[in-house]
Structure 1
Amino acid sequence: MADMMQFDLVSPERRLASVEAREVQIPGADGDMTAMPDHVPTITTLRPGVLKVAHAGGTDEYVVSGGFAEISGDGVTVLAEEALPRGELNQDMFDRMIQGLRDRHAKAKDAYVNEPGPVDEAAKLLADMVAVGSEMGLSSN
């Protein structure tokens, strides 16, 4: 069993990370998961949350708003809708992320009047991001 694997995190704006990692904690849409070297191949969607990467130099944390993670036996690639290092998240950025999710929820309510599934999913994404902000001491006015 290998003790390290390749980890890459990419958002539409930039590549945030490319390191050899021991483990990656992923905020999956169906529940949190930890990927380690030789993990069974998996593709999962992300929910808003904090993605943690343990590597030789310590642990890095990134706030993600959604996207996909592809786990293979030798690495993890995350394609995030929006991502930034946890230390870069400030109130203005958080407000922008929350507003985007509120807009998404409002559109779902308009488009799916008698179909609660998509509306509930949008509400869950918003609630997850509010929880991330609360954990970091940010307000979701």
Structure 2
Amino acid sequence: MSLHFKIITPDRTALEAEVDNIVVPGALGEMEVLTQHSNLITIIIPGELRYRMAGSGEEHQLVVGSGVFQIEHDRVILTTDLALETSDIDEKSVEEAIAAAQEALRQQEKLTVEERRRLDTNLAKQLAILEFNRKYKR
């Protein structure tokens, strides 16, 4: 028995596969999902997502952004703003985005609450991408 796992981003369906397990970055730490997991809807944060393909047992990794993670019976859907493999990542661009966000945050007194929140969110996502890329870059 396996899980039917689908990752949807604003641009595309990033993944649709039968998997044995999924490990997602939750707000309180990693959460592993196996077959026959209780139904659940939760929020995930930017970070590393791992899954093991059904049959082959081959493990795969993605970096994901914030999103909604839903389990219903053995069907799992992640709706997120980002899902990348290391081959999709340009580390120099990520480092530049981090530097730009950090510089903008230094000017906090000139920012609205919404602008600060958007910068914080973007910075967390860029840092997760950079950490993931450095961990798995081949």
Deviations 1:63-86 (A, max 9, x none): 112111111221210111111123
Matching of residue 39 in structure 1 with residue 40 in structure 2: no
Distance in 1 (alpha carbons) for counterparts of 2:82 and 2:121: 17
Q: Displacement of 1:47 after TM fit? A: 1.0
Specify every segment of 5 or more residues in structure 1 that has no aligned partner in the other structure, as ranges: 114-118
Distance in 1 (alpha carbons) for counterparts of 2:112 and 2:17: 41
**Aligned partners of 1:51 and 1:64 also within 8 Å:** yes
Partner of 2:133: 136
Secondary structure of the residue aligned to 1:126 is: helix
Residue type of the partner of 2:67? G
What is the total number of aligned residue pairs between the two structures?
A: 128
Calculate the TM-score normalised by the size of structure 1.
0.71
Residue type of the partner of 1:18? E
% identity of equivalent residues:
21
Partner of 2:63: 63
**Structure 1 residues 15 and 135, CA gap change in structure 2 (3 angstroms):** closer
Distance in 2 (alpha carbons) for counterparts of 1:97 and 1:79: 23
Distance in 2 (alpha carbons) for counterparts of 1:6 and 1:35: 12
Secondary structure of the residue aligned to 1:137 is: helix
Deviations 1:40-73 (A, max 9, x none): 1111112111111111331221111211111122
1:1-141 → structure 2 map (5 Å cutoff): 3-55=1-53, 56-57=55-56, 58-95=58-95, 98=98, 102=101, 106=105, 110-112=111-113, 123=120, 126-127=123-124, 129-137=126-134
Specify every segment of 5 or more residues in structure 2 that has no aligned partner in the other structure, as ranges: none
**Aligned partners of 2:22 and 2:50 also within 8 Å:** yes
Distance in 1 (alpha carbons) for counterparts of 2:66 and 2:50: 14
